[in-house]
Structure 1
Amino acid sequence: MAVLKEGSKAPAFKAVDQNGKTIALKDFIGKKVILYFYPKDDTPGCTAQACNLRDNYQLLLDKGFAIIGVSTDSVKSHKKFEEKYQLPFSLVADEDKKIVDVYNLWGEKKFMGKTYMGTTRTTFLIDELGKIKKIISKPDTKNHTEEVLAAWDEA
């Protein structure tokens, strides 16, 4: 799988979110998209990141952004996560890892001395034409909105 670069077209995908709605990236042409990949629902870093985006949701909407979260968790898991934290955006279930694979984000990780396979936390900022404007490789989960806005402005 080729490594994605800023300026290249964002790979298309279609999947189901926590509400059973089919989400396709092509449906967001004309909008700025925050496409963020995270390892697991309801874990400390993933919760901090989702809640930071939630807390700044209106600001991001006002600036023309749509937010799509992607993890390999199930629709049911995403629904529980959404309800527990009142998340106002789509969380796409990628249980078969097709989206994670096409974005080249499934890989070896290390935590507490153990090595395992998982999703690499990464955010893609996609412009209105569907091109990758900026890739944030190691998002700051607690300050993700500020990081997104700064990255968009400097790109």
Structure 2
Amino acid sequence: MAEWVEEGSKAPSFTLLSDDGTKIKLADLKGSIVVLYFYPKDDTPGCTKEACAFRDRQSELTQQGVKVLGVSPDDQDSHVKFRDKFQLNFPLLVDKDHKVAEKYGAWREKNMYGKVSMGIQRSTFLIDADGKIAKVWKRVQVDGHDAKVLEAVAKLQG
């Protein structure tokens, strides 16, 4: 089982395809604070609620120089439909083979009604401007998560 990335360590690098067809490379975002969040599936209740919360806070996050990136194993078409349906205003990244989720420790064994399977554990990683992990939320409860992220961003800029 993959270990979680620890706070204070260097954020694992990645290059992933975005919903708009561009490639997003973590190294290109150096100098910005990045909120990298992993979610199980496009257009499901919890994931939609989480994405919409980040969407609604986007102007506050942008003012603080924060880039939000959502990551799931869904393909580009699925991301485009999800983005358009809910007017999401940040990139959704394709991690079909869940390699990036594994690097961060977000690909885990899940137990749903006694059925054990591997999947994305809803989690968020706050990456500082130097590319270090500033904060890790391992088992995100969607309600109020956006406020906690903004609080952590404010502390980071302290």
- TM-score under structure 2 normalisation? 0.92
How big is the shift at 1:3? 3.6
Q: Is the 8 A contact 2:16 2:95 kept in 1?
A: yes
Q: Is the 8 A contact 1:133 1:152 kept in 2?
A: no
The one-letter code matched in structure 2 to 1:20 is G
Please name the residue that 1:15 is paired with: 16
The one-letter code matched in structure 1 to 2:6 is K
Matched, 1:44 2:45: yes
Name the SS of the counterpart of 1:141 in structure 2.
coil
The one-letter code matched in structure 2 to 1:32 is I
Name the SS of the counterpart of 2:13 in structure 1.
coil
Please name the residue that 2:70 is paired with: 69
Bigger shift: residues 73-82 or 95-104: 95-104
Aligned Cα RMSD in Å? 1.4
Please name the residue that 1:4 is paired with: 5
Q: Is the 8 A contact 1:36 1:121 kept in 2?
A: yes
Name the SS of the counterpart of 2:143 in structure 1.
helix
Q: Distance in 2 between matches of 1:116 and 1:49?
A: 22
Q: Distance in 2 between matches of 1:2 and 1:43?
A: 26
- Structure 2 matches for 1:45-124, cutoff 5 A? 45-124=46-125
Q: Distance in 2 between matches of 1:63 and 1:151?
A: 12
How big is the shift at 1:144? 2.2
Q: Distance in 1 between matches of 2:64 and 2:141?
A: 20
- TM-score under structure 1 normalisation? 0.94
How big is the shift at 1:111? 2.0
Q: Distance in 2 between matches of 1:148 and 1:71?
A: 19
Please name the residue that 2:29 is paired with: 28
Bigger shift: residues 141-150 or 117-126: 141-150
Bigger shift: residues 132-141 or 69-78: 132-141
The one-letter code matched in structure 2 to 1:105 is A
Which ranges in structure 2 are unaligned for 5 or more consecutive residues? none
Identity of aligned residues (%): 45
Q: Residues 3, 137 of structure 1: CA spacing in aligned structure 2 closer, same or farther, 3 A cutoff?
A: closer
Name the SS of the counterpart of 1:39 in structure 2.
coil
Aligned residues: 155
Q: Is the 8 A contact 1:53 1:144 kept in 2?
A: no
Q: Distance in 2 between matches of 1:84 and 1:21?
A: 20
Name the SS of the counterpart of 2:144 in structure 1.
helix
How big is the shift at 1:152? 3.3
Q: Residues 9, 27 of structure 1: CA spacing in aligned structure 2 closer, same or farther, 3 A cutoff?
A: same
Which ranges in structure 1 are unaligned for 5 or more consecutive residues? none
How big is the shift at 1:87? 0.3
Q: Distance in 1 between matches of 2:88 and 2:56?
A: 9
Q: Distance in 1 between matches of 2:99 and 2:114?
A: 28
